[in-house]
C-alpha cells in the first residue's frame, strides 16, 4: 500500500520536535496539512545542506556541485508543487513530500517566492559566500528565516474556502510584517545552538564577521574559547542579544499589532513567539549574572 504523503511529512516535521511543530498541532485539518507539507519541504532542503555539506568533513568543489544540484531539484519541485503542477517522475527528490505540497500549497496563492528565497540562502551556504556585514546577514535571513516565517503567518491568516486558501492581504504584506520577528527568532536559535554548531563545523555559524570582530573574535577563536574559556564570548552574546532585542521590539509592533488573525490562530502565534521571548528573557538574565561576576 502506498504511503500517505502527509504521513511522510509528519515524520519529517516531528523529527526534532521544534516549537513550530508543537504549536502546529492546534491547526484545523486543511491548515494543518498545508503546514506539514510546507514545513517538511523546507526542513528537507535545510537538512540537506547542513548535513551533506556545511557539517560535512568534505567540502570540495565536487561535493558542492552535487549538493547544489540537489538544491536546484528541490527548488524546481517546490515551485511546481506550489503551483499545483508537480508530477512524481523517476528521479524525483522525496516525492511524497511534494505530492503533499501539491495537494495543499498547490491550492494556495503562496507562489514561488518562499521557495526561491530559501533556495538562494542554501546556495549561499554551499558557495561558502562570506558574511561580512550585518546587511549580509539580513540578506541571508530573507531566505533562511523570513521565507519560512512568511509561509507560517500566511497559513495563520489564510481562510480555506471553495477548496482553496486565500488571505485578506497579499503575501508581500505578511513578509514585511513578519521580517523583524523572524530575525529575532533566528537570533535566538543561533544563541541557543551556538556551542553545538561550533562543535560540528564553523560553516554552521551564521554570524557576520563584523559582529565577531566587534566582540574581539573570529570563527577560529570562537571555536576555541566557547569550550576553553566561555567567559570570553560574553561580548558576542551581548551584541547578539542587543540585536535580538531591537528586532523583537520592532517585530512586536509590526506583526503582533498590525496583522489581523482569527482567534485560534492569534493564540497559536502568541504561543510560538512566547517561547522565544521566554528564551530571550532567560538568556538576558543569565548573561547579566555572568557579566556581574
| pLDDT score, position 239 | 96
Instruction: Report, as an integer, the average pLDDT of 219-225.
Output: 89
Question: What is the torsion angle, in degrees rounded to the nearest 10, for the CA atoms of residue 243, residue 248, residue 251 and residue 253?
Answer: -120
Instruction: Report, as an integer, the average pLDDT of 83-110.
Output: 95
Residue 55 reports pLDDT greater than 90: no
Residue 25 reports pLDDT greater than 80: yes
| pLDDT score, position 160 | 94
Residue 1 reports pLDDT greater than 60: no
Residue 292 reports pLDDT greater than 90: no
Instruction: Report, as an integer, the average pLDDT of 60-71.
Output: 88
Each residue of 170-204: pLDDT tens digit?
999 999 999 999 999 999 999 999 988 888 877 78
Counting the structural domains of the chain, the total is 1
Give CA angle at 49 (44, 50), nearest 5°. Answer: 100
Residue 163 reports pLDDT greater than 70: yes
| Among 128, 161, 160, 184, residue whose Cα is nearest residue 265 | 160
Name the pTM for this structure: 0.94
Residue 68 reports pLDDT greater than 90: yes
Instruction: Report, as an integer, the average pLDDT of 199-210.
Output: 87
CATH number at residue 262: 1.10.600.10
What residues make up the domain containing 99?
Answer: 5-291
Greater model confidence, 226 or 38: 38
| Among 220, 167, 164, 226, residue whose Cα is nearest residue 195 | 226
Instruction: Report, as an integer, the average pLDDT of 112-135.
Output: 95
Q: Binning pLDDT at 50, 70 and 90, where does residue 17 land?
A: confident
Instruction: Report, as an integer, the average pLDDT of 150-179.
Output: 96
DSSP state of 203: G
Instruction: Report, as an integer, the average pLDDT of 58-71.
Output: 85
| pLDDT score, position 139 | 97
The strand pair at 164-166 and 159-161 is best described as antiparallel
| Among 13, 17, 23, 2, residue whose Cα is nearest residue 104 | 13
124 membership: H or E segment, kind and range? helix 113-126
Amino acid at each position: 500500500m502506498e504511503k500517505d504523503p502527509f504521513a511522510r511529512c509528519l515524520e519529517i516535521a516531528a523529527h526534532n520536535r521544534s516549537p513550530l511543530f508543537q504549536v502546529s498541532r492546534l491547526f484545523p485539518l486543511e491548515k494543518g496539512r498545508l503546514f506539514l507539507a510546507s514545513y517538511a519541504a523546507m526542513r528537507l532542503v535545510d537538512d540537506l545542506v547542513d548535513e551533506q555539506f556545511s557539517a560535512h568533513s568534505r567540502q570540495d568543489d565536487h561535493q558542492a556541485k552535487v549538493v547544489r544540484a540537489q538544491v536546484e531539484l528541490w527548488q524546481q519541485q517546490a515551485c511546481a508543487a506550489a503551483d499545483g503542477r508537480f508530477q512524481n517522475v523517476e528521479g524525483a527528490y522525496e516525492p511524497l513530500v511534494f505530492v503533499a505540497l501539491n495537494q495543499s500549497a498547490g491550492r494556495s496563492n503562496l507562489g514561488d517566492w518562499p521557495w526561491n528565497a530559501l533556495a538562494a540562502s542554501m546556495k549561499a551556504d554551499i558557495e561558502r559566500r562570506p558574511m561580512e556585514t550585518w546587511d549580509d546577514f539580513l540578506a541571508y535571513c530573507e531566505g533562511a528565516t523570513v521565507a519560512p516565517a512568511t509561509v507560517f503567518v500566511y497559513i495563520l491568516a489564510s481562510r480555506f474556502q471553495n477548496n482553496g486558501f486565500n488571505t485578506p492581504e497579499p503575501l508581500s504584506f505578511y513578509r514585511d510584517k513578519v521580517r523583524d520577528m523572524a530575525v529575532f527568532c533566528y537570533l535566538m536559535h543561533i544563541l541557543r545552538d551556538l556551542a553545538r554548531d561550533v562543535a560540528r563545523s564553523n560553516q554552521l555559524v551564521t554570524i557576520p564577521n563584523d559582529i565577531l570582530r566587534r566582540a574581539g573574535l573570529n570563527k577560529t577563536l570562537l571555536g576555541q574559547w566557547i569550550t576553553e574559556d566561555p567567559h570570553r564570548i560574553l561580548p558576542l552574546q551581548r551584541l547578539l542579544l542587543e540585536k535580538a532585542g531591537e528586532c523583537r521590539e520592532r517585530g512586536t509592533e509590526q506583526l503582533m499589532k498590525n496583522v489581523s488573525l482569527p482567534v485560534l490562530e492569534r493564540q497559536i502565534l502568541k504561543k510560538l513567539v512566547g517561547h522565544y521571548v521566554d528564551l530571550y528573557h532567560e538568556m538576558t538574565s543569565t548573561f547579566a549574572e555572568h557579566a556581574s561576576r
